[in-house]
Amino acid sequence: MTKAMMDDPRRIREENPFESMMERFDRAAQLLNLNPDLYAVMRVPSREIKVYVPVRMDSGRIEVFEGFRVQHNFARGPAKGGIRYAPDVHIDEVRALAAWMTWKCAVVNVPFGGGKGGVICDPMQMSIGELERLTRRYAAELIDFIGPERDVPAPDMNTNEQTMAWIMDTFSMHARHTVTAVVTGKPVELGGSRGRREATGRGLLFVINEAIKRFKLSPPNTRVVVQGSGNVGGIGARLLHEAGYKVVAISDIFGGIYNPDGIDIPAALAHLQQTRSLQEFPNVEHVSNSELLELECDVLAPCATENQIRSENAGRIKCRILAEGANGPTTANADKILHNNGVFVIPDILANAGGVTVSYFEWVQDRMGYFWKEEVVNERLSDVMVASFNDVVKYAENHNVDTRTAAYMLAIDRVAYDTRMRGIYA
């Protein structure tokens, strides 16, 4: 970001994920004529926790890391949401992600509220031992605030199954018995659910399958551009490729590759795993991540990070369907431009809700002590995603609003109903 951009308060506001979330919340609340008392309660997090995490580094010295956990809402059940490790984690981002989790859980109608956590660190510069000590101490600092009935963390950016296993073990050591349901996204051998790793990408596939029907498209004649090649983008691209879609572009952090005739996605992902980059993959054109977003296609799936589609580039987006695999890839200021240009948006709180849906399935299986076959998980995920897609589209049509606003209205309506029925303990 240039200095001029940093000095522009409008840009700072647009790229603040919490501001974007609140702008959309306010619009949906206004259209719903939300009771002012419910508005006052729902617009703020229930709890914000800030911790300082001392870690003995491999060098022997102690380094203190700053961490957060935001628990946005408990009206529908325990808080639920990932933990991310990154050098640019900040509290507004965590607040926004926690709120998005509340709305996401409500859109797919699973009995959780929203939570999110983060630690300011650079995991790429840390050893496995340092990451384990960081994770265990961070979990210990949060021990009174998490648990199967309180707040159930999951993996997010730069965290994984191993991270969740460390948290589960730390919590279990304090509880003096094994508590598998304290986190989701664990290894299958430690109570994880089959199908969890692919769940977000698979959920994305299911809603794209529904969306293309509106345009009378079929997978073989649907051109897809995927930004990102990680857990969401990479798995989503592979599943789309297997389903017969023509994936014409995909990217990593260094840039993208493009072939209008389609890319051999399994080969590209294998190349990425071997070389840690897509840049030397043969028989493709190379594009930047920003150029990739503006390629002509039927479906654009931004599956990387926040704020990829903004007011200055939204007018150059040439897709028919925008399927948001990432959290917050589109700023609030870009929404109107996309809507005016006729882009059909599958908003993030619906499009990437496959992960939290199967996390819910994992939590249920842990509490039952009985685990499902992967086919059962995928079938139930399909049922949830297809029903939720149709709920959002119907809500948009009934209220004459765009699909993002409809998703927020549906989610807020459900959370407001539960809050109203429970009453405000004040």
pLDDT in tens, 270-299: 999 999 999 899 999 999 999 999 999 999
Average pLDDT over residues 145-164: 96
Average pLDDT over residues 165-186: 98
Residue 201 phi/psi, 5-degree rounding, is -65, -40
- For the chain, domain boundaries: 45-181, 199-351
Q: pLDDT value at position 1?
A: 37
DSSP assignment string, 149-182: TTEEEEE-TT--HHHHHHHHHHHHHHHTS--GGG
Closest listed residue to residue 66, CA positions, set 84, 53, 57 = 53
Q: pLDDT value at position 207?
A: 98
The predicted-structure confidence for 94-129, as pLDDT tens digits, reads as follows 998 999 999 999 999 999 999 999 999 999 999 999
**CATH number at 45-181:** 3.40.50.10860
| Mean pLDDT for the chain overall | 94
The predicted-structure confidence for 337-391, as pLDDT tens digits, reads as follows 999 999 999 999 999 999 999 999 999 999 999 999 999 999 999 999 999 999 9
CB 65 within 8 A of CB 134: yes
- Give Cα 330 to chain centroid, integer Å: 13
> First CA to last CA across the chain, in angstroms?
45
CB 156 within 8 A of CB 84: yes
Closest listed residue to residue 302, CA positions, set 204, 227, 209, 205 = 227
**Structure-token match 């630690």, residue found:** 119
Task: Please report, as a single letter, which amino acid is at residue 144.
Answer: D
Report the alpha-carbon distance of residue 322 to residue 184 in Å, rounded: 28
Q: Can you tell me whether residue 1 is helix, strand or coil? A: coil
Whether the domain at 45-181 and the domain at 199-351 fall into the same CATH topology = yes
Q: pLDDT value at position 17?
A: 80
Report the alpha-carbon distance of residue 143 to residue 125 in Å, rounded: 27
> Top-level CATH class of 199-351?
alpha beta
Q: Report residue 11's pLDDT band, with 50, 70 and 90 as the boundaries.
A: low
Which helix (H) or strand (E) element contains residue 270?
helix 265-275
The predicted-structure confidence for 213-271, as pLDDT tens digits, reads as follows 999 999 999 999 999 999 899 999 999 999 999 999 999 999 999 999 999 999 999 99
Q: Report residue 16's pLDDT band, with 50, 70 and 90 as the boundaries.
A: confident
DSSP assignment string, 383-422: HHHHHHHHHHHHHHHHHT--HHHHHHHHHHHHHHHHHHHH
Vertex 154 angle, CA 29 and 124, to 5°: 115
**63 has pLDDT over 90:** yes
Catalytic residues: 116
**Structure-token match 């948009």, residue found:** 396
Report the alpha-carbon distance of residue 308 to residue 176 in Å, rounded: 45
Report the alpha-carbon distance of residue 303 to residue 231 in Å, rounded: 9
Q: pLDDT value at position 5?
A: 39
Q: Can you tell me whether residue 287 is helix, strand or coil? A: strand
Q: What is each CA distance from 131 to 25, 183, 238, in whole angstroms? A: 36, 17, 30
CB 107 within 8 A of CB 84: no
Any bridge partners for residue 83, and if so which?
Answer: 117, 155
Closest listed residue to residue 361, CA positions, set 117, 120, 198, 231 = 198
User: Residue ranges of the alpha helices (H) in 15-124?
Assistant: 17-31, 36-42, 91-107
Q: Which one-letter DSSP state was computed for residue 193? A: P
The structure tokens listed for 173 are: 């050591």
Q: pLDDT value at position 13?
A: 67
The predicted-structure confidence for 39-61, as pLDDT tens digits, reads as follows 999 999 999 999 999 999 999 99
Q: Report residue 15's pLDDT band, with 50, 70 and 90 as the boundaries.
A: confident
CB 43 within 8 A of CB 25: yes
Q: Report residue 320's pLDDT band, with 50, 70 and 90 as the boundaries.
A: very high
Cα dihedral value 374, 378, 379, 385, nearest 10: 160
**190 has pLDDT over 90:** yes
Q: pLDDT value at position 426?
A: 76
Query: In this structure, how many other beta carbons lie within 10 angstroms of the beta carbon of residue 28?
Result: 23
